[in-house]
Amino acid sequence: WSFLKRAHQVSIKAAALMYLVLFMTVFVDLITAVAVGVFIANLLTVKNLSQLQINQIKEITAPDDGENSLSYEEKQLLKQARGRIFLFRLGGPMSFGAAKAISQRMGIVEKYDVLVLDLSDVTLLGVTASLAIENMVKEARGKRRDVFIVGATGRVKQRLEKLKILELLPERNRVSDRIEALEQATALITGEQSHINSALAQENPIEVNSAAANLDQTKQ
């Protein structure tokens, strides 16, 4: 009775579930009431756990994305990349609740040149979430994007190895430290830009020399 007196103080969902079980106990039977109550309670628990997992997923493309856990060096590397790196951070236990959220991000991978999957803070990786990660890696590779997997250790690494997800990437793209992945990703981007600039200079040497002369005059 003490709980019934305070039922209005708990969440609406919990109170509604309790009254439903009481109603079914009186007008149906106890076994059915308990079965329905347990089933609905499990659904609510799964929903809450899924939301907690989704909250652990972070998308970072710029140093000012509000991610306080990035170091100064990491922010500088993202700044140099000019929004061409997609840092996708996962944390905590990742199971079927996070799989849907991971799959929803696959469509935006093609907007960036490099995908960095950071699993450093993942404590548990379920099969469904692993398959979602595999699909994301394959999608990025299919779009000719570079992919790095960071911080896969222990049971998380074993899961990825068992599903042969790590084999999708060359060994140099499987690193233990996030800053190492960002350094390699930035080097790929800046190196590609330098190659493009060099090719343009060879095709249009007169225009490049003219631009350089104008720059020198401006400095003077």
Q: Convert the pLDDT of each residue in 84-143 to its tens digit.
A: 999 998 888 888 778 888 888 877 888 899 999 999 988 888 898 899 999 999 999 988
Quick: pLDDT tens for 19-53: 788 888 888 888 888 888 888 887 887 777 777 77
Domain ranges of the chain: 2-53, 57-198
- Domain 57-198 superfamily per CATH: STAS domain (3.30.750.24)
Q: What is the DSSP letter of 62?
A: S
Please, what is the average pLDDT of the chain?
79
Amino acid in position 138: K
Please give the Cα distance from 111 to 155 (Å, whole number). 31
Rounded (to 5) percent helix, strand, coil in the chain: 65, 15, 20
pLDDT band at 2 (very low <50, low <70, confident <90, very high): low
The encoded tokens of residue 33 equal 């009431």
Q: Looking at residue 7, what is its pLDDT?
A: 62
Task: Find, among 86, 101, 96, the residue nearest to 56 by Cα.
Answer: 101
Please give the Cα distance from 160 to 147 (Å, whole number). 15
Please give the Cα distance from 30 to 53 (Å, whole number). 34
Please give the Cα distance from 154 to 122 (Å, whole number). 10
Q: What is the phi-psi region of residue 30: left when phi exceeds 0, alpha when psi lies from -120 to 50, beta otherwise?
A: alpha
Most confident among 22-31, 68-77, 143-152 (mean pLDDT): 143-152
What is the percent of the chain with per-residue pLDDT over 90, rounded to a whole number? Answer: 25
Please give the Cα distance from 3 to 131 (Å, whole number). 44
Q: Looking at residue 41, what is its pLDDT?
A: 82
